[in-house]
Structure 1
Amino acid sequence: MKDDFIARHQLWTAEQTDAAERLRSQAEGLRQVRIAWCDQHGILRGKTLEVGHFLSVLDSGKDFQTATLIFDTTNNPVTPPFRAAALGDPRMTGLPDGVLVPDPLTFRMLPWLDRTGWILSDLHYRSGERVPFDTRGVLADQLSRLAGEGFGYVSGIEMEFYLTRLDDPMLGFEDSGYPPTPPKVSAVGHGFQYLTESRGDEIEPILSILRDNLVSLGLPLATIEDEWGPGQTEFTFEPLPGAATADAAVLARTTIKQLARRNGYHATFMARPALPNAFSSGWHLHQSLSSESTGNAFAGATADELLSQTGMTFMGGLLHHALATSVLTTPTINGYKRYRPDSFAPDRIAWAEENRGAFVRVTGGRGDANTHLENRVGDPAANPYLYLASQIAAGRDGLRQKLDPGPSADEPYVSESPALPATLERAIDHFEGSALLRAEFGDPFVDYLTMIKRHEVARFNAAVTDWEQREYFEVY
């Protein structure tokens, strides 16, 4: 008997329904389809489906294990598995199967695999209700609220990462665990000749593979740039509307990691890897609001106006809620080690016009129709849906309350602006106590992510680090 779960619960728009029909008509040439979902950490999980089964999934959805929702970064359960109701949602009791609802608008052919498709999905319970811990759903809700207030969201990404040569993947059984032994790697090129053509050419073979496949996927790659560290690279993408930027980010990251591994390299989006002469990597998020009446709602109306009132108060919201949103923009312990003075990463909550040391940089020029905000705080490992959702929730509150961002900080690293959290542990306190984020994302989600991140911090605090061994083992 046919299960019409998706239609019965009206989970697709008309546009998605039409896209699904096109998929059915084109399925004959497929071997298999990877159905993926973005977990709480921004990491893609998924299943590979035979084509016939995939076609049935376009009606019924695909079962998935809600157990994945109780894991921290390296799959350590944060609560005993059959006490999952401790996450704040009684529907999680016993870790029942949920339903992956594929989004036909995200379907791609993976160019490095034979006749293999890829599609993103959303997380639902068997009742048809959205799982509140589905981060793609968190962003969808924010976009819906923003649309109700008359605006669209446009964003573009600059994402830095390291390419290294994979010397030893450390695949022994003794290397498996929570977490596994990291791979042994070596440098693929020289560093500290920022944007020099010869440095980029040293790793051109792998860069060309990455470039060709990202373009074949239809992702709006704009530039490939040599960064500071040896093998450190930045990929930038053209701006996209709504959730498309987050969808592109998760696909780009997994593509880069998979293709690097297939070709004898290791790519890492860790913010500050423990490699000699490594320079921190960041994720700069460019953003603006669109309006049917004005186009770019952030652009100043005159040649002398830096930002519109909409742009100013949206920025005021970003600054006002920067402490609370830090867990969403910088979710790793390691990411907070980027925040150093004079490092091209912000260390305090300040804004400035065309200044790369500021938390928010206003870029585009006075009177320029492309003027927008660049948030330079992001960790390259951030969950893209939560990063974007954090900006929309904070910015919307700025619009609502007409929050004043205050004067610009022409010298951000010596301004008297408040400091960003020094650690993930401090950031969690601000996140957990945020009335705004509880109102926007719901108590269950805030309590859930707080539990996940506190478990991660507790494991870190319990571990004996190399620093401690060097500091105390001999002298005491």
Structure 2
Amino acid sequence: MTNDQLTDGGLSAEAEAVLEEIDEQNVDFLRLQFTDILGTVKNVSITADQAEKAFTEGIYFDGSSIDGFVRIQESDMRLDPDPSTFALLPWRTSEDSAAARLICDVINTSTGQPFEGDPRGILKNAIDRANEMGYEVNMAPEPEFFLFEEDEEGRATTKTGDHGGYFDLAPKDLASDVRRDIIFGLEDMGFDIEASHHEVAQGQHEINFTYDDALSTADNVATFRSVVRAIAAEHDLHATFMPKPIPKINGSGMHTHMSLFTAEGENAFHDGDDEFNLSKTAKQYLAGILEHAPAITAVTNPTVNSYKRLVPGYEAPVYVAWSDRNRSALIRKPAARVPAASRIEARFPDPSCNPYLGFAALIHAGLDGIEKGLDCPDPVRENIYEFDEEKREEYGIDTLPENLGEAVDALEADEVILDALGPHTGEKFVQAKRQEHMEYLVDVSEWEIDRYLEKY
């Protein structure tokens, strides 16, 4: 098996422990979870008595039904569950029965090897590259989301259930009880929650969990979105990670903190003698992300709607620069109280992205900066939002793509980020995003009807 589940012809100790917990917790159903290339979480449900078979033989499914996976003549795929990802689903657990989740790797049955289009496998490849260079990758995202009321038929609206603002408390923040229940659910699934608060916009929220290795963090993002939606639904609310659901207010981002650690456990990003406490390695990694930022946005900001958030004036970064002081730059160097906390924060990703592919793109870009020894530009300590075009040119500050089509153009022109996705996923991803952008271009919005129908 691909994740070392079998030892000496039997189950690994970790898999055996999962089977014991399934029995102790009266688990009756298991959800075998994976994602398609667009980041949509998929599940194959099996009964608990099939758990041992899942660990020893894998569970087969039709890959031709999944976006961007395989052609119809290559449809047989296999799910190999990772026993370290076992968790009970708190909203499906009672005294008499329970349901649980296992995150899976996707295997190509014709070769017996990891499927090249599996986003989790693509992130593993990025991590392997870092390991070969002597680094472990740690990440900590900050996914934001909106909570909206449902209509009488249970469909999502864009009506917020509160009038709160940044860090507001009840009674303005009427969703504090929902956040509390979400946090309890996340903690039941093994999350270590650092903080939660109401965000800037009405109905907008953020829950932060502690940093972890890149793979575990990507798994956590996929789980986080599922838990938030499920528990919000119990409160008759719809949770959305759409980047910009309401016009003319702040959208939702997923600021992503990153650092590299050596095999000896030292933070490779820290240098106490540097003005910014950033090592040469950190600055080269940072320079790599800046170098490849236009192409990365196609992956970390993958929807037409993503570019409604990435506009000046709504606290979303659009300028390719970094800073140690303000949040108008693409990358920020947060303050760190101890050397182990030295890190950089990419502020442009949004929570609609596939976390596996988004993290892989960021890692490969940063490692490319280290390998090529890229020079890091000076930080910009002024508010770039206030710069006019002439001043941005003076500072050599470029902007991110203005729409999904431009981002895909940048992706196709960037060999490093395309290679990060691999030939299969790169082709399928570009194809899907080209189609999405074209469908948007030929559509007619309500804004256009309101503005032009009677005027012309």
TM-score, normalised relative to structure 2: 0.91
Residue type matched to 1:140 in 2? K
Residue type matched to 2:32 in 1? I
State which of 126, 130, 133 in structure 1 corresponds to 2:109. 126
* 8 Å CA contact 2:149, 2:156 repeated in 1: no
The more displaced of 373-382 and 41-50 is: 41-50
Question: Cα distance 1:196–1:282, how it changes in 2: closer, same or farther (>3 A)?
Answer: same
- Runs of 5+ unmatched residues, structure 1: 1-5, 72-86, 171-181
Q: 1:373 Cα shift?
A: 0.3
After TM superposition, list the pairs within 5 Å mapping 1:302-381 onto structure 2: 302=273, 304-365=275-336, 368-381=339-352
Deviation digits for residues 362-387 of structure 1 (CA, Å, limit 9, x no counterpart) = 11259844111000001111111111
Deviation digits for residues 332-372 of structure 1 (CA, Å, limit 9, x no counterpart) = 11011112224221111110103111100011259844111
Q: Distance in 2 between matches of 1:366 and 1:215?
A: 26
Match of 2:35 in 1: 38
State which of 63, 72, 84 in structure 2 corresponds to 1:105. 84
State which of 152, 162, 173 in structure 2 corresponds to 1:189. 162
Q: Distance in 2 between matches of 1:14 and 1:56?
A: 12
Match of 1:259 in 2: 231
* 8 Å CA contact 2:290, 2:321 repeated in 1: yes
Q: Distance in 1 between matches of 2:252 and 2:3?
A: 38
Deviation digits for residues 223-271 of structure 1 (CA, Å, limit 9, x no counterpart) = 1111111111011111111301100110011110011112201111111
Match of 1:57 in 2: 54
Deviation digits for residues 427-472 of structure 1 (CA, Å, limit 9, x no counterpart) = 0011112111233333222111101111111221222211221232
Q: Distance in 2 between matches of 1:34 and 1:293?
A: 37
Question: Cα distance 1:294–1:243, how it changes in 2: closer, same or farther (>3 A)?
Answer: closer
After TM superposition, list the pairs within 5 Å mapping 1:397-416 onto structure 2: 397-411=368-382, 412-413=384-385, 414=387, 415-416=392-393
Q: Secondary structure at the match of 1:243?
A: helix
Match of 1:20 in 2: 15
Q: 1:213 Cα shift?
A: 0.6
Question: Cα distance 1:200–1:124, how it changes in 2: closer, same or farther (>3 A)?
Answer: farther
State which of 437, 442, 445 in structure 2 corresponds to 1:462. 442
Q: Distance in 2 between matches of 1:366 and 1:27?
A: 42
Tell whether 2:151 aligns with 1:167. yes
Q: Secondary structure at the match of 1:45?
A: strand
Q: Distance in 2 between matches of 1:375 and 1:336?
A: 16
Q: CA RMSD in A?
A: 2.1
Question: Cα distance 1:187–1:292, how it changes in 2: closer, same or farther (>3 A)?
Answer: same
Q: 1:93 Cα shift?
A: 4.5
Q: 1:40 Cα shift?
A: 1.3
* 8 Å CA contact 2:292, 2:417 repeated in 1: no
Match of 2:100 in 1: 117
Q: Distance in 1 between matches of 2:270 and 2:358?
A: 23
Q: Distance in 1 between matches of 2:281 and 2:51?
A: 45
Tell whether 2:271 aligns with 1:300. yes
Q: 1:200 Cα shift?
A: 6.3
Q: 1:98 Cα shift?
A: 0.8
Q: 1:95 Cα shift?
A: 4.8
Question: Cα distance 1:354–1:366, how it changes in 2: closer, same or farther (>3 A)?
Answer: farther
State which of 253, 256, 281 in structure 2 corresponds to 1:282. 253
* 8 Å CA contact 2:87, 2:189 repeated in 1: yes
Q: Distance in 2 between matches of 1:188 and 1:165?
A: 6
Match of 2:454 in 1: 474
Match of 1:136 in 2: 120
Q: Distance in 1 between matches of 2:67 and 2:151?
A: 33
Tell whether 2:432 aligns with 1:452. yes
* 8 Å CA contact 1:34, 1:116 repeated in 2: yes
State which of 192, 196, 199 in structure 2 corresponds to 1:227. 199
Residue type matched to 1:448 in 2? K
TM-score, normalised relative to structure 1: 0.87
The more displaced of 132-141 and 340-349 is: 340-349
Tell whether 2:214 aligns with 1:242. yes
Match of 1:80 in 2: none
Residue type matched to 2:17 in 1? R
State which of 142, 148, 153 in structure 2 corresponds to 1:158. 142
Question: Cα distance 1:460–1:238, how it changes in 2: closer, same or farther (>3 A)?
Answer: same
Q: Distance in 1 between matches of 2:85 and 2:338?
A: 36
Q: Distance in 1 between matches of 2:207 and 2:170?
A: 17
Q: Distance in 1 between matches of 2:76 and 2:234?
A: 32
- Runs of 5+ unmatched residues, structure 2: none
Q: Distance in 2 between matches of 1:160 and 1:341?
A: 19
Q: Distance in 2 between matches of 1:220 and 1:123?
A: 27
The more displaced of 364-373 and 223-232 is: 364-373
* 8 Å CA contact 1:124, 1:131 repeated in 2: yes
Question: Cα distance 1:14–1:67, how it changes in 2: closer, same or farther (>3 A)?
Answer: closer
Question: Cα distance 1:100–1:475, how it changes in 2: closer, same or farther (>3 A)?
Answer: same
* 8 Å CA contact 1:300, 1:367 repeated in 2: no
Q: Distance in 1 between matches of 2:85 and 2:172?
A: 31
Q: Secondary structure at the match of 2:113?
A: coil
Question: Cα distance 1:169–1:39, how it changes in 2: closer, same or farther (>3 A)?
Answer: farther
How many residue pairs match? The answer is: 437
Q: 1:65 Cα shift?
A: 2.1
Tell whether 2:214 aligns with 1:214. no
